[in-house]
Amino acid sequence: MADYDLIVIGGGGAGLAAAAAAAEGGCTVLVVEAEERIGGSTALSDGVFNAAGTSVQRSLGLEDSTEAYFDYYMTLNAWRQPAGLIRSFCENATSTLEWLMSLGVEIPARLVHKVKGVVYPCSAATPGLYAAGVEWPPRGHIPVGGGAAYTDVLYQYAGSKGVEFAFNTRVQALLSEGGAVTGIEVEGQPIRSHAVALAAGGIAHDKDLLARWFPDALAGYEDDYVPATISAAGSRGDGLRLAEAVGGLIEGVNCGLLGSMAYFPRTEVKGFPGYQPTSLIYVNQTGRRFADETAPYAVMPGLIKAQGGLVWGIFDEAARLRSDPTLSGYAQGWSPDFVLAAVAAGDIRSAPTLAGLAEATGMDPAVLEGAVAHYNEDLGTGVDRYYLRSLDGLYPIASGPFYAFQYRLCNVGLTGAGVRIDAQGRALDPALNPIPGLYAAGESGAGVLGERYVGGGNAVANALTMGRVVGQTVAATVREHEVEAA
């Protein structure tokens, strides 16, 4: 005898969407959340949601389609993701976004990004629509209030549909009978259900799981290195472990987003030091440029990985002194004192000449000098001859001393290793058969998030969309069983 139709493990974006959709379909639902409140990483996020063919795009006169999104998604991921699942994701993302807006999430119909211009990460302070990756037309929908807007709206809605919540309760075992998942065990007590949805987020806080499933996050670092992560505390890999224990197919090596950042392991950072100077170039270990330095964070990690995982940012004394705290965001630059503190700590190398800087960093002096010379010459013509970076507002790298800092893959943004799901959100076994009673969504489910993050909004869209799909699938399955039993 089941206590609930559906038990959802995790009250983040995927879990709340699953719970709300299942309850909307007539199911009884319990959400079990390890922390003291709902939200997870979803509530911390900027809330960018990737979707195509939406009413927001149409209001702006932008023509788009889920077919175009599917093609873009599969091409960017070199067709490594399962097409059936990605088709479902791309199609359901649109209806999920419209559903969320109908429940009260507000996404203003305005472009909040320079059209086809320099790409900077967005901020939730600017709700609207922006090109979140390398796509066109823009697909990154930013809600008023960031990611918490979704979780707040869904929590209210789920509550109004009778969904029950248990907080401070970390699920550590599933009930399994005859190959089917039949509920959960909490503190030795069974709670039975027709279906269980794994929506417990990712693995960012578990170094052992990262070593197995996200080796890029640890590659090239010392043994005692612990990668920084922005993920919520609940991202401990429980979804992956629970699925593995009942024979789920675990996939998703290096999937998710490993963010590139200036790497300052030794510098004491008091508060936010500002952003790195814009008048810089990135070069690889030989001293050669390899990309447009303003490439979106969707593609930059792959470009850095292709250079061996470590590149250098090169700037000059004028850039250090140009920092202006009265400017906002990227225009501000690191404070001059911060740069000197990082030099003293050994995180930024410095030398009076470029040849000296090359020696201090192990680069080829002629290659580094050539890279800087080309950059300076290109400022004169206005065209970045090799990588087509927009050079507007940039200054030459010409006055010593010169500086180099490591720009590395050093922040686990989100992970995509978990139990492989199908187009309906059902968890699969190694023979690609659904495990009866088990579903997964968000970072706990593998297949949607690939090695190539398609752009800001990929992960929130995945969590909310596949969560809702799970809720709908469970509701339809429970109805079928009721009809059969009648």
Ligand X SMILES: Cc1cc2nc3c(=O)[nH]c(=O)nc-3n(C[C@H](O)[C@H](O)[C@H](O)COP(=O)(O)OP(=O)(O)OC[C@H]3O[C@@H](n4cnc5c(N)ncnc54)[C@H](O)[C@@H]3O)c2cc1C
Beta-carbon neighbour count of residue 322 at 10 Å? Answer: 18
The residue among 33, 38, 72 whose CA lies nearest residue 53 is 72
The CA-to-CA distance between both ends of the chain, in Å, stands at 16
- Quick one: 11 or 128, whose CB is closer to ligand X? 11
The residue among 74, 89, 28, 7 whose CA lies nearest residue 468 is 89
- From residue 450 to residue 469, what is the string marking binding to ligand X with x (rule CB under 6 A)? ------xxxxxx-x------
Question: Which segment (12-20, 67-75, 97-105, 383-391) binds ligand X by CB under 6 A?
Answer: 12-20
Footprint on residues 88-117 left by ligand X (CB under 6 A): none
- Quick one: 124 or 351, whose CB is closer to ligand X? 124
Rounded Cα distance between 148 and 159, Å, is: 16
Rounded Cα distance between 267 and 335, Å, is: 14
Please, what is the minimum distance in Å from the beta carbon of residue 239 to ligand X? 7
Does 40 bind ligand X (CB under 6 A)? Our answer is yes
- Quick one: 195 or 414, whose CB is closer to ligand X? 414
The residue among 160, 165, 182 whose CA lies nearest residue 173 is 182
Burial 39-58 (b: 16+ CB within 10 A, else e): bbbbbbbbbbbbbbbbebbe
Q: What is the DSSP letter of 430?
A: T
Q: Give the residue at shortest CB distance from ligand X.
A: 12
Question: Which of residues 127, 138, 227, 234 is near ligand X by CB under 6 A?
Answer: 234
Does 368 bind ligand X (CB under 6 A)? Our answer is no
Does 47 bind ligand X (CB under 6 A)? Our answer is yes
- From residue 146 to residue 165, what is the string marking binding to ligand X with x (rule CB under 6 A)? -x------------------
Question: Which segment (33-41, 92-100, 152-160, 318-326) binds ligand X by CB under 6 A?
Answer: 33-41
The torsion angle over the Cα atoms of residues 385, 386, 390 and 395, rounded to 10 degrees, is -70
Question: Which of residues 23, 34, 319, 354 is near ligand X by CB under 6 A?
Answer: 34
Does 30 bind ligand X (CB under 6 A)? Our answer is no
- Quick one: 40 or 277, whose CB is closer to ligand X? 40
Does 200 bind ligand X (CB under 6 A)? Our answer is yes
Question: Which segment (36-44, 243-251, 269-277, 471-479) binds ligand X by CB under 6 A?
Answer: 36-44
Beta-carbon neighbour count of residue 116 at 10 Å? Answer: 10
Provide the sign of the torsion angle of the four alpha carbons 208, 212, 213, 216, taken in this order: positive
Give the interface with ligand X as residue ranges (CB under 6 A): 9-15, 32-35, 39-42, 44-48, 147, 170-171, 199-201, 230-232, 234-236, 238, 414, 442-444, 456-461, 463
